Amino acid sequence: MKRILTIASVIMLAVSCTEKNPFLKVWDTPYGIPPFDQIKTEDYIPAIKEGIAEHEKELAAIIDNPEAPDFNNTIAAYDLSGQLLAKVSGVLFNLAETDADTTLNRVEDEANKLLTAHSDEVFMNKKFFERVKAVYEADQSGLNREQQMVLKRLYQRFTRNGVDLDEDAQQELKEINQKLSDAQHKFGDNLLAQSNAFKETFGIPVSAYPDEMSTCTDRERRKAMFEAYSNRANHGDEFDNKAICLEILKLKARKARLLGFDTFAAYQLDDKMAHDPQTVDSFLDEIIKAAVKKAKEEVYDMQKVMDQDIKAGLLPKGSRIEPWDWFYYAERVRKAKYDLDEDQTKPYFKMENVRNGIFFAANKIYGINVEPLQGVPVYNPEVEAFKVTDSDGSLLGIFLTDYFPRSTKRGGAWMNNFRDQYVDKDGNEVRPIIVNVANFNAATDSLPALLTIDQVETMFHEFGHALHGLLTKCHYPSVSGTSVTRDFVETFSQFNENWAFQPEILAEYAKHYKTGEVIPDSLVNKIIEARKFNQGFMTSELAAASILDMKWHELTEEQLEGVDIAEFEKKVCSDMGLIKEIIPRYRTTYFNHIFNSGYSAGYYGYLWSEVLDKDAFDYFRQQGIYDKQVATKFRKTFLEKGGSEEPMVLYEMFKGGQPDPGAMLRARGLAD
């Protein structure tokens, strides 16, 4: 017998569901950390729908305001709206990358559809835009610089999202955005499945690939691993990404044309520091030439070691260095040239000690303190929580670390926010909740988590992003923390890498996991001397990936028709002069940065930012790398200001002049 619900019972049921959904309540948790233990998968979509409804009401109030538009009633009102959506999204999209299952993936897919449609409705709303435009075109002299940047960014979001298009074109753009959302999600799912398959086949996570390739003496196993690694999502099966990549590229090219740009690269770069594809192409061309020249010397050195193996009968006559040999023979050369290998250094780089070293460096340079937090909610047992305070004891934020691989976590390393920093409508400062995620070597039954030199640098790198998020002191969320242009954001993460192997910092954290002995000076000197080793390879693969990214996004809709991915990659690598022993750091089918993240026509940003980072560190060295005045200036000029000023204006405020374009090449040993 069917049960008939009365209106009263329906209302009671709705109220009951609302009361149970943790997103729809104030979080009574320490520091407002999400109550992860209370959140269920089925809570996300209802909360997102409620968040969209709430945001629509906030927008309607802005649009229908009878008062003349001004910064406070239009721009600030919008910037501080949508807090429920931000609350849900901050949890969902972090967990979808770190702790997902099939069900959560489906939820993420549905959430993306809802949020994409909602975003389109907001930024194609002509009435809303008229209010924003009125403020933008009015006299801005009464606004402070942060307010001017918030206004500029909001105005650009409209103009870059099709507000001026006619109704038919807007509808087409909405369809493109939905299709892009679906395709990008599918790309990520396929790549995660392929990365898990790699682990099942070879017994190591994808993140351990370089380390394994450096030590594996079995050449056939190295070849098999290389071919599996470099052909992820490229096997012609259900997880093949080739068709999805082309679909994404075509959709982006069509989107760019609708918005008045010849290519997606031109569209993407229009509001970045580099501004246009030609500038990026010239920048990368200079780098790849210097890198490949150095890489050829590295091949020569490795071939001499391989020749010794041939002479000893370990390899057939005529064997030559192949891509699957690079890590192995580079490590052999490094051992011979610098008497240094990872087996010597790893015992001094226990994960917990390195993390303590990062905290020590932040204290020494910026005066901040980091202390463990016990008994607070975390989303996975492997996650650890910390409280970050300033020298005066005031709260800067909450910092979470999630450092080890899981089958539910995507590869790589990154920083993200669960909550942004801003000042709320009542004037209360909201401090951020930041997470650093990685896929480092996990502990085993016999060993603690011991890191490679590269992993140590990565930990410092991601904490550099965290510092950018934690130290920010902005009023508006749209410009706080890491909300800067994509080709500027890596400056501060890469800058923080410079401290990893400073002797004074090493002495505090690099201690043998068994004996507690501080890393000896002789080993420190070897590490420092070897820092520029293999930079021909490292820079070539990074620049090659950046060029591949640009060349894909410089194609028009017509040029993408009938493109063969393998042939296109081959031609791009040939045109740039890449030697056969090296492939781009990411090939097309597993290039997550550009197909499922925000780095489309923007992967060059790592190298672009490195010019700024290395030039800034040269300035530190000239003044004394622990000079308090310089460190305070760096903190206040960059880390506190977020996106509240144009990047180059900030840089010139800090240094008093333009960056030296040769700083990065010199730091990598590619130029005198």
Q: At what angle do helices 219-230 and 167-202 cross, to 10 degrees?
A: 160
Q: Are the beta carbons of 323 and 227 closer than 8 angstroms? A: no
In a 3-state reduction of DSSP, which class is residue 402? strand
Return the H-helix or E-strand segment holding 400. Answer: strand 395-402
Token pair of 609 as six digits: 């930012």
User: How far apart (Å, rounded) are the C-alpha atoms in residues 377 and 379?
Assistant: 7
Cα 612–Cα 616–Cα 621 angle in degrees, nearest 5:
150
433-437/395-402 β-pairing? parallel
Q: Which residues pair with 434 in a beta bridge?
A: 399, 417
Number of residues that this document lists for the chain: 672
- Give how far the C-alpha of residue 645 lies from the chain's centroid of Cα atoms, to the nearest Å: 21
Kindly write down the DSSP assignment for every residue of 419-476, as one continuous string. E--EE-TTSPEEPPEEEEE--PPPP-SS---B--HHHHHHHHHHHHHHHHHHS---SS
Please give the Cα distance from 475 to 80 (Å, whole number). 10
Mapping DSSP onto H, E and C, the string for 82-99 reads CHHHHHHHHHHHHHHHHC
Torsion sign across C-alpha atoms 436, 25, 115, 240: positive
Among 146, 331, 342, 462, the active-site one is 462
76 alpha-carbon distance from chain centroid:
28
Please give the structure tokens belonging to residue 292.
Answer: 């490949």
| Residues 448 and 399 sit within 8 Å (Cβ to Cβ) | no
Residue 462 a catalytic site member: yes
Q: What tokens does 534 get?
A: 């293999």
- Written as one letter, the residue type at 522 is S
b/e per residue, 323-350, with b = 16+ CB within 10 A?
A: bbbbbbbbbbbbbeeeebbbeebbbbbb
Closest CA to 288 of 566, 571, 574, 529: 574
Q: What does R_g of the chain's alpha carbons equal in angstroms?
A: 26
Element (H, E) at 49: helix 44-63
CA 599 to the chain's CA centroid: 8
Task: Provide the 10 A C-beta neighbour count for residue 247.
Answer: 19
Residue with tokens 């880390």: 639
- Measured between alpha carbons, how far is 308 from 321 in angstroms, rounded to an integer? 13
Q: Which residues pair with 369 in a beta bridge?
A: 389
Active site residues per annotation: 462
